[in-house]
Structure 1
Amino acid sequence: MTQATLQCNIGKAGRTVSDAGHIYRESREKRRPLFGTGRLAWHCRAFCCHFPLPGGEPPLFRAVHSAGLPARRFLFRPFRLCHRPCLLQPTARQRRVRHVRDPALWSIWPMHMVVLAAFIVAETAIFIAQSHIGGALPRPPFSADRTLAAIPANLLLLNGTGIYEHSTWNGPSWSVSAELWINVLFGLCAITAGRRHMALAMAMLAAGSAIILILFCPTYLDTDGAYALFRCGYGFFIGYFVWRAVQARKGSTPRPVLDSLIEIALVISAVTFISYAQVGPWQMPIPLFFAIFVYLFARQAGLVSRLLESRPIQKLGHLSYAIYIIHFFFAFALNNVIRVGGKIAHVPSVLPGTQLALVGNAYVMDGITIAYLAIVITTAHFANRWIETPAMLWFNRQSVWLAEKRQGLPPASAS
């Protein structure tokens, strides 16, 4: 490929990406609360891994963890990649440059690093304390899925690329890792395939990912290790066609009553579908189902959409990534505290036949669950304010500076 051809393809890919900017700007904050609310349900399920709810784990939580909401997360990512958003309105300096990288990508790594550091500090504290409470520890420090050897891969966000059978250290970070490298693959396709052949490339990658999961992954979409990249890619590349469909529908007339009925029916069908989608071949249509879900909800003209515009749900959506990346640490900490405390006090603290922490009766566990959610959401608020948002702004400023330098524009102080 000649340099001129490569530059032409880059330009075409840039136009493809820029065309979707208005779609993303108009609906980004309205779609995030929908998935932020669902993500909170996912966290409740994750909490059940450590603290069982009375009556056992609901089928919906199990299905959501294994395929439902992570599949939605990957499917939605092309909407974000199709526009390079700024947290603030573009300044005169930003408008002078033609390409500014998506700062949302740069919020992933700092938050991931902070939570990984918290896990390492916690394991170090367990290592120091083992001489005093060694017999009470659920497992030795720096063992199982939190070994010293796995730290470098987690630092480089390689932990979701298939080098491990299961997730390591911060469990949810496998999806962040897989999504990052699928983003890189998407960018390479945009550069090499260009606008003309992009749809064919995305269709081949989506189909290839699905075939590999069906033929080689015994748990299909319920994988967070060896086949994580294919799980991510399957939903992600389907999401590209959802974005194309939403773009083609631009300008259609809203129908509030019909759209409200459609949205309510979608919510009911989503809950029903993933409640009965057990691990197996029937999981494979889930990304296709969510493709319809996202496409129809993108109109934002129904009753459910208006409900999601309320301030509390908007806030929840704004904090969704911070909640996602930190919740597992608090579940890990509470699980260890309850189990160690139970052994020291000679009080039963484990559900018989499992490794699940259990204390008191159903009402006590309900109280612990509410406290857990409150701690996670509060911590996510401050993490977003002090880590995620400053990181996005800082990296955005660096992107602007680099773009200006490459384009030969004068510094902002000279303008």
Structure 2
Amino acid sequence: MQYEKRYIQSHCGLRGIAAALVVSYHLQFGANYLFHFESATPFFKRGYLWVDLFFILSGFIISFTTVTVDEKFTKNEIARFFRQRFARIYPLHLFCLLYLVSALGIIALLQNAIGSKVNDPHWTSDGAVSLLTEVILIHAWGFGHNVAWNIPSWSISAEVFAYLLFPALYAAGKHPWARAVMVAGSVLLFSWIAITSGDLDIISGAAPLRCLAGFIIGMEIYRARNVFGAMSDSVSSAVQIGAALAIFALLLVPANDVLLIIPFALLVGCTWHDKGAIAKILASRPLQWLGDLSYSIYLNHVCVIQILWFFWGRLTAKFNFPEPESRLAWIVIVYCTTLLISHFTYRYIEKPARRALSRRVISAEPKPH
């Protein structure tokens, strides 16, 4: 079987930008002071919407890298798909959860040792149930409690739901009527959200449906990729710039969240061939590096924030650090620590796990007779 193997630099860069902006979103939580650029518009407060870009990217990339050129998806290929998805998401997820639980446990023990009351909901029965559901990645399906450990992992849980359905979705998508039904389902879900609340910040319960709707759009963009690929460089540039401007304009005002889905989808579609002005920027070395680390950044940053804040919050209170210097220092510390840890988790957790699973997949494939 031959597979489309070309690496899409633009999508790597998009992942890096989205991950970095999700960090800025979580840096808003519990902040007593914000810079004017952080609070003047809803841009940073609506950082949860970058996850919807991840969902669309995921639907496209998984279709692009998994499906054979002759459009067949055999049982062996389905098994390969699930092994590869497991290797891609689970080792880092488990590692982050382990070091977060360990660090919070040590902090709780230290508090007990000095006679300070531990008032942390993680160490309750609800926290234990939530931890179990996070370990097996079903906490976004409505099975978890109100205690979150590594908050961003909800979207990984939602993506697992989409992965489980992907073989069936792809097989059904070969039929025009089934494709129409799937796309209509996504449009109906987004329309219902747009009409009822306009808020896509759904991280449990219906979260898998939020993911699935974006994922299906990504799959459909993959099927229509040749339409985008046929665009000239100038047309690609115009569409890319228009989509990027629309994204930023919609984030700068309190617009309906669902409106972002359209420019997100356009940006994914018109950059996949790595042509155009925005594509060239996304292919730059710094954004490629950021994109390589994007999954590690995404899963590490809230762990970093939770652990460091225990010490930073007490330090700033004790010495009465002034603002805005304290805020600036906190932002720099979080980003630098997250990038440093992410460099090592990408190199020593993500890449080795993928290589190990790839070797296992190859050795498990049936040999020709």
Q: TM-score range by the shorter chain?
A: 0.7 to 0.9
| 2:299 alignment counterpart | 325
Q: How far off is 1:82 after superposition?
A: 1.4
- Does structure 2 conserve the Cα–Cα contact (< 8 Å) formed by 1:206 and 1:234? yes
Which secondary structure does the structure 1 equivalent of 2:201 belong to?
coil
Deviation at 1:50, TM superposition (A): 4.5
| Offset, 1:366 | 0.9
Q: Could you tell me which residue of structure 2 aligns to residue 232 of structure 1?
A: 211
- Within the alignment, does 1:364 sit opposite 2:326 as a pair? yes
Q: Do residues 81 (structure 1) and 62 (structure 2) align?
A: yes
Partner of 2:222: 243
Residue 71 of structure 1: which of 52, 55, 80 is its match?
A: 52
Q: Which residue of 2 aligns with 1:255?
A: 233
Matches within 5 A, 1:50-65: 50-51=30-31, 52-55=33-36, 57=39, 58-65=41-48
The offset of 1:327, in angstroms, is: 0.6
| 8 Å Cα contact 2:25/2:46 also seen in 1 | no
TM-score, scaled relative to structure 1: 0.76
Residue 47 of structure 1 is matched in structure 2 by 27
Matched, 1:382 2:344: yes
1:50–1:331 CA contact under 8 A, matched in 2: no
Larger mean Cα displacement after TM superposition, 294-303 or 222-231: 294-303
CA drift of 1:382 comes to 0.8
Asked if the contact 1:322–1:384 (Cα under 8 Å) also holds between the matched residues in 2, the reply is: yes
Separation in 2 of the partners of 1:105 and 1:208? 30
Question: Cα distance 1:160–1:62, how it changes in 2: closer, same or farther (>3 A)?
Answer: same
Distance 1:277 1:144, change over 3 A: farther
Match of 1:309 among 260, 283, 289: 283
Deviation readout 1:224-257 (Å, 9 max, x if unpaired): 112211211121112222112213444x25234x
Alignment of 1:279-294 (within 5 A): 282-294=256-268
| Aligned partner letter, 2:331 | T
For residue 386 of structure 1, report the CA deviation from its aligned partner.
0.4
Larger radius of gyration: 1
| Aligned twin of 1:3 | none
**Structure 1 residues 315 and 176 mapped into 2: Cα distance closer, same or farther (>3 Å)?**
same
Post-superposition Cα deviations, 1:7-66, rounded to whole Å, max 9, x if no partner, equal xxxxxxxx9xx7xx53xx33523311123123212212212224443235351111222x
Distance 2:193 2:239 in 1: 31
- Contact kept, 8 Å, 1:78 with 1:240, in 2: the verdict is yes
Distance in 1 between residues matched to 2:138 and 2:160, nearest whole Å: 9
Between the aligned partners of 1:110 and 1:268, the Cα distance in structure 2 is 36
CA deviation map 1:237-282 (0-9, x unaligned): 12222112213444x25234x433443333222111122245xxx2
What's the CA shift for 1:292?
A: 1.7
Superposed displacement of residue 214, structure 1: 5.8
In structure 2, the CA distance between the partners of 1:63 and 1:388, relative to structure 1 (3 Å rule), is: same
* Structure 1: stretches of 5+ with no match in the other structure: 1-14, 86-96, 349-358, 411-415
Deviations 1:375-407 (A, max 9, x none): 111111110110001111111222222222xxx
Deviation at 1:174, TM superposition (A): 0.1
1-side partners of 2:178 and 2:353: how far apart? 31
The number of equivalent residue pairs is 354
Q: 1:113 to 1:64 in 2, by over 3 A?
A: same
- Secondary structure (helix, strand or coil) at the match of 1:79 reads helix
1:291 maps to a residue whose letter is A
Match among 215, 220, 242 for residue 265 of structure 1: 242
Q: Residue 155 of structure 2 contacts residue 211 of structure 2 at CA under 8 Å; is this kept in 1?
A: yes
**How far apart, in 2, do the equivalents of 1:212 and 1:409 lie?**
51
Query: Residue 392 of structure 1 corresponds to which residue in structure 2?
Result: 354
| Cα distance change on mapping 1:262 and 1:220 into 2, 3 Å | closer
Report the CA distance shift for 1:394/1:181 in structure 2 as closer, same or farther (over 3 A).
Answer: same
Question: Does the CA-based 8 Å contact 2:34-2:327 persist in structure 1?
Answer: yes
- Stretch moving more, 44-53 or 312-321: 44-53
CA distance in 1, matches of 2:60, 2:43: 26
Amino acid at match of 1:272: A
Q: Deviations over 1:82-121 (max 9, x none)?
A: 1447xxxxxxxxxxx8774373542211100001111211
Query: Which of 274, 295, 313 is equivalent to 1:339?
Result: 313
Q: Which residue of 2 aligns with 1:122?
A: 103
Name the CA distance, whole Å, in 2 between partners of 1:114 and 1:304. Answer: 35
Aligned-partner Cα distance in 1 for 2:104–2:53: 32
Q: Percent identity?
A: 20
Aligned-residue Cα RMSD (Å) equals 2.9
In structure 2, C-alpha distance between the alignment counterparts of 1:312 and 1:306, rounded to whole Å: 12
**2:240 maps to amino acid:** E
Give the aligned residue type for 2:203.
Answer: D
Instruction: Name 1:6's counterpart in structure 2.
Output: none
- Tell me: CA distance 1:166–1:128, structure 2 relative to 1, closer, same or farther (3 Å): closer
1:169 and 2:149 correspond: yes
Asked if the contact 1:110–1:388 (Cα under 8 Å) also holds between the matched residues in 2, the reply is yes
Letter in 2 for 1:368: W
